[in-house]
A and B are shown apart, each in its own frame.
Chain A
């Protein structure tokens, strides 16, 4: 049995177990990861200069070389990360047993687990057309369970308005940090872009996890259908075979637009297909990030 298969994962009710298994699986895939190096570490010695804090003088080096050396460390301040989770009604869509919200929740839980295991402060913001709930970033161990409980208790509903949530978040952020947006992004790209740009302007690093259902990506329907929208009072009578091509084109354009916006704002953009195992998706993302974003 593949425990990372979203179908199998959907049967696992405990989000903590889900998060842990996903993170374990992901960490096994990146043996040479430098993620553990996020804590404070010695960097180098340099000669003492006037004005340096005497507390940083390495007395052992003075004893050995009879000169003052200052010990320098890499900055090891805790990362403040917000996981911004879309909990609009559209996230409730599931064609293969696991909804986009479940998939996103597992992803969010995995990220929170990963952060807290590395002593980083992770918080959670859920939003639909407004910010629903905020859990401020903390490094406390039991903080993970607060995040997990919030995710488990959240029922996706309402319309998507990632732009509003991001703008609100940007306005409330007082310190640089990381913002991880998990959403299906069925919103106006330019408005979302505005929120993302504001976050970047505040110095935050932004990561966008675009979650889509395989049925949204392939539109496999054949019978004439009356499509009812999950968020709004919209219905459409259509022959799927007739509009499939145009729909896929529109979706491609939407995704391309988000890619372009993210690229131009130095934002990581990753598409997650809910039919693909989360560990693999996460591994792929972490590998990519490590390769291109190592500082």
Chain B
């Protein structure tokens, strides 16, 4: 705290404080000479009162001298300057780093943290005459360039700085601040207003951004050092691949309880803006919980999905956006090379049943069974997948064209197939060799020994698959890694890229002739999964959502169809002439409201003098420092001193005695 004077020259008038002494000397000489009859009594009285009177006179003298000095002092306009944590001379340069990351949208009792931070930053600009640069921790293409401004202009820029939806980049903010300050030869200061979220500040390393040792750094934490409770949706995925119109799909939403206590969350599912389902879930503290929704969409095309949570103080991450692409049913052409007299005796019976286990309802596949001669008359362009079942010598011109069109072909061998015919297929990377037949020696039948990870077969059904017995199958050579391998190390299922699609080879039969797989529980999911994978319905069940602030990629001009304008939501853009949508969501790390402690923050700045101030609106005025004129205080003191002087000088005190009367 410093004391300065606005009119310091007037302090010379302090010499006037000697006036009371001079007046005392002068008046003493001019005392009235008075004859009196009882001087001896007076002297007696004087002896009694001499000591208190001397004290009184000294007190009066001191009071009068103080009065004169106080008047001179008042005229010199004393000002107390409290440096505070944000004090800076008017020739200084101040950089304000304002955390506008999503977490600053947390609602305190006194309002949104971001607004509190802006208010605190604005308070530091009041009365500051130096230059100011404002740097938000989340910059967007619309953000103005960082430049030096006057306090007034910086205040305007501050008010116009919006809350962002992404992660704060403290490293980048400090780098810009240092760039602004490094060439200046004036007092420098960096004031940071942030919640000091661990995810935003963990990466800050002075070695990366450089250090200006002559800059004073003050970190104002908004919202306290403790972890704030929050809930968010971490991810959403379709459990059974892409959605097919008219077929219900399982949609799993993973929600996170990012609080210190257990919670009950209400998870709501919205499709195209309409609430279609809601469920309650009770995740433990710090744990995730999964909520399953059964989703049925009747029409094909894009559907905008949203998972909404309620009950916390950070609204920005309460919604998770995801687009759903609803496809039409997969049309599968099955060429039966060994049609039987009855449907059950046909080679295609079990496969057909596997693709529509409950009838046409609820299956994503539309299967059509034809003979080899019928296939030659068909236009295969209307089909999404082609299955050749025990076809003796297929004309591979059609499958080749099919593969060129980007559609998969699945080949199932059998007793009627001629390997040499298949080996002539130019797109085939393997060679079919001799047949192994173990049907006569039942004890030597073999099962599935290995399931490749690439198949993504459900773990619960793997035992069922491994329990299947295979009596006959073809040996196949080629450098292709099999998806399924038999116990004798012969491949059962192979897949390879062919032309623009995939070619699959099942070395045994599709019916019960060479194996008992169709009777196993694993048969339906195996074939459905295989077909889904082949046509691209499996795998990434939803377009991967990107986090707010990440680029969409070159040339993409997205249009927002859902969500907060300019923020999280669903964006639509064109890719290869077709419409594509992508969900943009808050980075999950930004929802984890764990803060860096003051010690951790100081450690990041090494030997630099850094203050971490827990911001409180009611005490910020004191923390901020400032200047205060003292004349009102002095005036009050002066009046009090004058009153005391009057009382002492005029004897308006309890020991005043009245005259003696008879």
> Which B residues are CB-close (under 8 A) to A92?
37
> Which A residues are CB-close (under 8 A) to B9?
none
> Which B residues are CB-close (under 8 A) to A267?
none
Determine whether the beta carbon of B31 is less than 8 Å from that of A251: no
- A35: interface (CB < 8 Å): no
> Which B residues are CB-close (under 8 A) to A224?
27-28, 31-32
Instruction: For residue B54, give the distance in angstroms from its CB to the closest CB of chain A.
Output: 10
- Contacting chain B: which of A39-47, A74-82, A124-132, A239-247? A239-247
A227-B42, A235-B39, A238-B42 in contact; A245/B32 too (CB < 8 A)? Answer: no
Determine whether the beta carbon of A225 is less than 8 Å from that of B31: yes
- B184: interface (CB < 8 Å): no
A217-B661, A245-B657 in contact; A250/B45 too (CB < 8 A)? Answer: yes
A217-B661, A251-B38 in contact; A246/B32 too (CB < 8 A)? Answer: no
Which of B28, B49, B660, B662 has a CB less than 8 Å from the CB of A242? B49
Instruction: For residue A30, give the distance in angstroms from its CB to the closest CB of chain B.
Output: 19
Instruction: For residue A213, give the distance in angstroms from its CB to the closest CB of chain B.
Output: 7
Determine whether the beta carbon of B42 is less than 8 Å from that of A236: yes
The chain B residue sitting closest to A219, CB to CB, is: B659
Instruction: For residue B85, give the distance in angstroms from its CB to the closest CB of chain A.
Output: 54
> Which B residues are CB-close (under 8 A) to A255?
660
> Which A residues are CB-close (under 8 A) to B37?
90-93, 100, 184, 186, 213, 216, 229-231
Determine whether the beta carbon of A226 is less than 8 Å from that of B43: no
Determine whether the beta carbon of B38 is less than 8 Å from that of A225: no
* Chain A at the B interface: SS class: mixed
- A203: interface (CB < 8 Å): no
Determine whether the beta carbon of A245 is less than 8 Å from that of B36: no
- A62: interface (CB < 8 Å): no
> Which B residues are CB-close (under 8 A) to A219?
659
- B46: interface (CB < 8 Å): yes
Contact pattern, A 258-289, Cβ under 8 Å of B = 1, otherwise 0: 00000000000001010010000000000000
Determine whether the beta carbon of B49 is less than 8 Å from that of A243: yes
- A14: interface (CB < 8 Å): no
> Which A residues are CB-close (under 8 A) to B41?
186, 247, 250-251, 254
Instruction: For residue B58, give the distance in angstroms from its CB to the closest CB of chain A.
Output: 12
> Which B residues are CB-close (under 8 A) to A246?
45-46, 48-49
Which chain A residues numbered 163 to 197 have a C-beta less than 8 Å away from chain B? 184, 186
Q: Compute how far the CA of A239 lies from the CA of B34 in the bound complex, rounded to whole angstroms.
A: 12
The chain A residue sitting closest to B54, CB to CB, is: A242
Determine whether the beta carbon of B35 is less than 8 Å from that of A230: yes
Which of A226, A227, A230, A244 has a CB less than 8 Å from the CB of B657? A244
A186-B41, A245-B49, A250-B41 in contact; A273/B662 too (CB < 8 A)? Answer: yes
- B33: interface (CB < 8 Å): yes
> Which B residues are CB-close (under 8 A) to A242?
49, 53, 56-57
The chain A residue sitting closest to B651, CB to CB, is: A241
Determine whether the beta carbon of A227 is less than 8 Å from that of B34: yes
- A221: interface (CB < 8 Å): yes
Which chain B residues numbered 5 to 49 have a C-beta less than 8 Å away from chain A? 27-28, 31-46, 48-49
- A133: interface (CB < 8 Å): no
- Chain A interface size, as a band, is 35 or more
The chain B residue sitting closest to A221, CB to CB, is: B34
Determine whether the beta carbon of A250 is less than 8 Å from that of B31: no
Which of B31, B35, B38 has a CB less than 8 Å from the CB of A237? B31
> Which A residues are CB-close (under 8 A) to B38?
90, 186, 216, 247, 251
Q: Compute how far the CA of A238 lies from the CA of B33 in the bound complex, rounded to whole angstroms.
A: 11
The chain A residue sitting closest to B56, CB to CB, is: A242
> Which A residues are CB-close (under 8 A) to B48?
246, 249-250
- B656: interface (CB < 8 Å): yes
Determine whether the beta carbon of B660 is less than 8 Å from that of A217: yes
A93-B37, A226-B34 in contact; A243/B45 too (CB < 8 A)? Answer: yes
Q: Compute how far the CA of A263 lies from the CA of B336 in the bound complex, rounded to whole angstroms.
A: 156
Q: Compute how far the CA of A21 lies from the CA of B41 in the bound complex, rounded to whole angstroms.
A: 35
Instruction: For residue A3, give the distance in angstroms from its CB to the closest CB of chain B.
Output: 22
Q: Compute how far the CA of A41 lies from the CA of B15 in the bound complex, rounded to whole angstroms.
A: 88
Q: Compute how far the CA of A245 lies from the CA of B35 in the bound complex, rounded to whole angstroms.
A: 19
Determine whether the beta carbon of B35 is less than 8 Å from that of A218: no
Instruction: For residue A285, give the distance in angstroms from its CB to the closest CB of chain B.
Output: 11
Q: Compute how far the CA of A92 lies from the CA of B660 in the bound complex, rounded to whole angstroms.
A: 21
Determine whether the beta carbon of B651 is less than 8 Å from that of A226: no
> Which A residues are CB-close (under 8 A) to B42?
227, 236, 238, 243, 247
Determine whether the beta carbon of A230 is less than 8 Å from that of B660: no
- A54: interface (CB < 8 Å): no
> Which B residues are CB-close (under 8 A) to A247?
38, 41-42, 45
The chain B residue sitting closest to A229, CB to CB, is: B39
A218-B659, A250-B48 in contact; A223/B32 too (CB < 8 A)? Answer: yes
Q: Compute how far the CA of A251 lies from the CA of B45 in the bound complex, rounded to whole angstroms.
A: 9
Instruction: For residue B657, give the distance in angstroms from its CB to the closest CB of chain A.
Output: 4
A242-B56, A243-B42 in contact; A248/B659 too (CB < 8 A)? Answer: yes
Determine whether the beta carbon of B45 is less than 8 Å from that of A234: no
Determine whether the beta carbon of A218 is less than 8 Å from that of B660: yes
> Which B residues are CB-close (under 8 A) to A236?
39, 42-43, 46
> Which B residues are CB-close (under 8 A) to A24?
none
> Which A residues are CB-close (under 8 A) to B57?
239, 242
B: residues with CB less than 8 A from A are: 27-28, 31-46, 48-49, 53, 56-57, 650-651, 655-662
Give 8 A-B contacts (CB < 8 Å), ordered by A residue. Answer: A213-B37, A218-B660, A226-B33, A229-B40, A239-B57, A247-B45, A250-B41, A273-B661
Beyond A243-B42, A245-B49, A245-B657: 4 further Cβ-contacts under 8 Å? Answer: A225-B31, A246-B45, A250-B44, A254-B41
For the complex of A and B, list the 8 residue pairs with the smallest distance between their C-beta atoms, beginning with the closest.
A218-B659, A246-B45, A229-B39, A93-B37, A90-B37, A247-B45, A246-B49, A225-B34
